[in-house]
Amino acid sequence: MTSFELGQNFTVQVFGQSHADAIGAVVDGLPAGKRIDLDEVFRFMGRRAPGKNAFSTARREADQPEVLSGLIDGVTTGAPVCAVIRNENVRSGDYANVLTVPRPGHADFPAYVKYGGWNDVRGGGAFSGRMTAPLCFAGALCLQLLRERGIEVFAHIRSIAGIDDAVPDPCCPDLEALRAVAQKEFPTLSDAAGQRMRSAIAQAREEGDSVGGVIECVAVGLPVGLGSHMFGGVENRLSAALFGIPAVKGVEFGSGFAGCGRRGSENNDPFRLREGRVVTTKNDHGGVLGGMTSGMPLVLRIGVKPTPSIAKPQQSVDLIAMEETELSIRGRHDPCIVPRAVPVAEAVTAIVLLDLLYDNN
């Protein structure tokens, strides 16, 4: 298991760099005979694609993957599915000075030390957010296989710059409203909240600054008992994957950190019977008890830090000259990557949930 690989029962191997010839993914171990709707896969990937609107980087890409193997007439064969996305519209010059002056908040400095200066620094290289495009390809396959089992995964922007979206009912979320989020240009439940978030992003951009936020992910239809003891729990496996999304600095489930300030009598979710099924009357446990799914909706949140690439001048150090300097980052950068990270969160969650479903016991 290397750093670009995810999964136990099937694996997703990502490859590429932001400005290499291509990026891509190999999805190995999926069952044979599963029909994949590639158009839907491409539409899903389109939700992450840059250049859609004023709120994201001006870089535009087709981002249409070429599927090289693994499918015949859109049906899985049991052989690894390899998808390649060519990198186009690349202007490496924008990043020329990054080599020696690390950008605050970026991987530049530790990568320089770790790789002895040999890592690809153009556009973030293999640390670029662009590496999430092949994750979306893999996740889109998994979402279709999950839906076959009655499982759906949704995400929305929970907050940006301190502005909150509406909160889905954690016990009985409005599925139509959640499904509608995926169709929106700006993935919030409340359009009014979304509008205020956009204003905050626009203002940050104007000031050469950036903002972060929180994404909430909800999955419904999960059977009881996915996940396992100790390190094999749903939270372990999801967090191990979700921290792979660039800029994620926190992961919490259910009532999360807020619930940790409460009394047990408040935070515990009572069991009741509803139509012959055991349910909880509220869902502060976020659908996970003892590392296993409870049958209630899975609810998790990830904290996405403000984009570290900002136009404002910042202090840094020239690593060759070993002297302090000031850095102004030019180039095309999202003042807020949260909206584009929403489908990525869905994709990563879907990959892990399908992997958990394939556990044999």
Query: x-or-dash pattern for a copy of itself, window 149-168, by CB under 8 A?
Result: ----------x-xx------
Residue 297 host element (H or E): none
Binder of a copy of itself out of 148, 281, 328, 330 (CB under 8 A): 281
Instruction: Find the radius of gyration of the CA atoms of the chain.
Output: 21
Q: Which residue has the tokens 């009881």?
A: 224
Query: x-or-dash pattern for a copy of itself, window 305-344, by CB under 8 A?
Result: xxxxxx-x-xxxx-x--xxx--------------------
340 annotated as a binding-site residue: no
Beta bridge pairs of residue 293: 288
Select the span of 52-60, 142-150, 172-180, 248-256 touching a copy of itself (CB under 8 A): 248-256
AA letter at 121: V
d(CA 49, CA 77): 28
- Contact flag: residue 248 with a copy of itself (CB under 8 A): yes
- Contact flag: residue 361 with a copy of itself (CB under 8 A): yes
Query: For residue 155, which of 356, 6, 348, 354 has the smallest C-alpha distance?
Result: 348
Write out the binding residues for a copy of itself, residues 193-212 only, by CB under 8 A: 204, 209-212
d(CA 314, CA 307): 14
Nearer to a copy of itself, 35 or 43 (CB): 35
AA letter at 284: D
Nearer to a copy of itself, 88 or 174 (CB): 88
Write out the binding residues for a copy of itself, residues 251-280 only, by CB under 8 A: 251-257, 259-273, 276, 278, 280
Lookup: tokens for 323: 């002297």
CB of 183 to a copy of itself, least distance (A): 25
Q: How far is CA 202 from CA 196, 207, 322, 335, in A?
A: 10, 9, 36, 8
Residue 205 host element (H or E): helix 191-206
Lookup: tokens for 245: 């999304």
- Contact flag: residue 91 with a copy of itself (CB under 8 A): no
Write out the binding residues for a copy of itself, residues 293-312 only, by CB under 8 A: 293-295, 301, 303-310, 312
User: Do residues 194 and 163 touch, judged by C-beta distance below 8 A?
Assistant: no
Eight-state DSSP code of residue 268: S
Write out the binding residues for a copy of itself, residues 24-53 only, by CB under 8 A: 24, 26, 28-33
Lookup: tokens for 266: 């408040």
- Contact flag: residue 70 with a copy of itself (CB under 8 A): yes
- Contact flag: residue 188 with a copy of itself (CB under 8 A): no
Instruction: Name the binding residues for FMN.
Output: 290, 305-309, 332
Instruction: Name the binding residues for NADP(+).
Output: 48
Instruction: Name the binding residues.
Output: 48, 290, 305-309, 332
